[in-house]
Chains A and B, each alone.
Chain A
């Protein structure tokens, strides 16, 4: 179960990373309009990282 959760968390981080990359790529064309998408990507990366850190603590990898 923990492995599935970890994989899901990695997937969230990867999706967030893709959103961020897309937003940075569109920045020249769209300017400030990419801001909501950038925050969306950052929130996804933060959520995935938060869950991965929790799992690492449960597994004793981190204190």
Chain B
């Protein structure tokens, strides 16, 4: 037994409900720090509408992840659900898209962490000192890679403290902002007179989805939570609603804020708050800090600590990209979707060092692509000519939106597939609005919300392909490269190339429920299997 546990070490299930919430919050909650400025710059007076559309889709995604993570509490996340529901190749595509997101996550959040720090240390500003900014982001990525290789990871307790401080701080900013700075008439005025073109609205909506990325953390937390079927739905619903409220509240406040300290441009003209963002990548990268500084009475204090809090939260999120990519690659490798090298553990540090270094290297390549136009004027003119002058932050946001929309689209299809092919697994949490029907002799429930969510996220994927010049080139290229590598690997290993490997899902599900401590659900599952087998036997003998 000791030998077995050494060969296959399991993750300890020690995460509490608050730990589970803060784990998700430190990942998804940081997104608004990045997304707000980008969406305000793109969608102007319709920023709140862009957040609303993306937010409704996000609620559907969140509910889907909650059901799946509570039913299949394994760390593989989206790729595992899709592989189980649709087959190996689709599982690979979903997982490969998630890996793109995780590597972008590393660079994008390190980038914006430096942007937030530049609020207090102006020498880090990208447009004035691009090389200093580049070196700072590069150093952060390298530092996180090194920390993860040697096995130092921020503790759940640290996540919990930072998340609690952030929820408190954001609530305070919003409450005081709405009390003292918000004017409904200003909001309506901004919406009426600064309504963007359909193209800009599509761009804003596709960028708004990046404020809601990171739901993989729900399934990662599920793997380390005791009795996840009970705990995950409780914490996930609170997490989903909290993030939605913050995103909608910030966008409404930004549009309807009467500046206490009037904001003026270089010529002394008064500007609405959202007008600080178009054509200013520096401002886009630190929108929450700028907004907090405009809140009456509290702004002077907020201007000092919000950049620090934002930088820390973003750094934690960046770290979750390094950690998460190696973990997803490990899970994909265990399922024979990636080569076994991604499972290799460093002898001394006991960490998946090769995975960590490989995906951190991809993050550095992405950083170079993002930083090039700022570093070399010749490259900037090339970007201006061929990519509509997209800047570094746009490049990262493009790919982030593409990866998220692709993987989430597959997760909805995976959910529908699993509802049809695995109706016997007990679902302690089920997304609402289902149509009861029969499929292959079993009673199943077809999820309407998954269809609505799929239509929503697929339209965001189309918006991304339509409006993101770099995203529509590099995103599909990443997927194509991955599929080619997958086909070559499966062929080399003599595994089914387009088909799926045969797996004993019944035993695997029983084992998953046993390991997670959901013994009642395991008994219910075994009873369901027995009843189904008896029914089938009676049916075939009767025939």
Contacts and interface: CB of A to CB of B under 8 A. Distances in A.
A19 B52 CA distance: 16
B357 interface: no
Contact of B241 (A33, A37, A43): A43
B359 to A, nearest CB: 35
Given A22-B184, A46-B241, A47-B242, A54 B234 contact: yes
B49 A36 contact: yes
Give the interface size bracket for A toward B.
10 to 19
A39 B486 CA distance: 43
Contacts of A33: 187-188, 191-192
B248 A40 contact: yes
B378 interface: no
| Most A Cβ at <10 Å: residue of B51, B184, B192, B234 | B184
Interface residues of B, number: 22
Contact of A40 (B56, B188, B249): B249
A54 B238 CA distance: 10
B352 to A, nearest CB: 36
B245 A30 contact: no
A29 interface: yes
A36 B52 contact: yes
A36 B51 contact: yes
Given A35-B52, A36-B252, A51-B238, A44 B245 contact: yes
Nearest to B59: A43
A49 B43 CA distance: 32
A19 to B, nearest CB: 9
B444 to A, nearest CB: 28
Contacts of B187: 33, 37
Nearest to B184: A26
A29 to B, nearest CB: 7
B251 interface: yes
A12 to B, nearest CB: 9
| Most A Cβ at <10 Å: residue of B187, B242, B245, B248 | B245
A46 B249 CA distance: 15
Contacts of B237: 50
B73 interface: no
A43 B247 CA distance: 11
Interface in A8-47: 22, 26, 29-30, 33, 35-37, 39-40, 43-44, 46-47
Interface string B48-91: 11011001100000000000000000000000000000000000
A37 B190 CA distance: 14
B183 to A, nearest CB: 12
A43 B244 contact: yes
A43 B251 CA distance: 15
Nearest to A49: B241
Given A37-B248, A40-B248, 20 more contacts: A29-B188, A30-B184, A30-B188, A33-B192, A35-B49, A36-B49, A36-B51, A36-B52, A36-B248, A37-B48, A39-B52, A39-B55, A40-B245, A40-B249, A43-B244, A44-B245, A46-B241, A47-B242, A50-B237, A51-B238
Across chains A and B, which 3 residue pairs bring their CB atoms closest together, nearest first? A36-B48, A47-B241, A40-B248
20 contacts: A29-B188, A30-B184, A30-B191, A33-B187, A35-B49, A36-B248, A36-B252, A39-B52, A39-B56, A39-B248, A40-B245, A40-B249, A43-B245, A43-B248, A46-B241, A47-B241, A47-B242, A50-B237, A50-B241, A51-B238
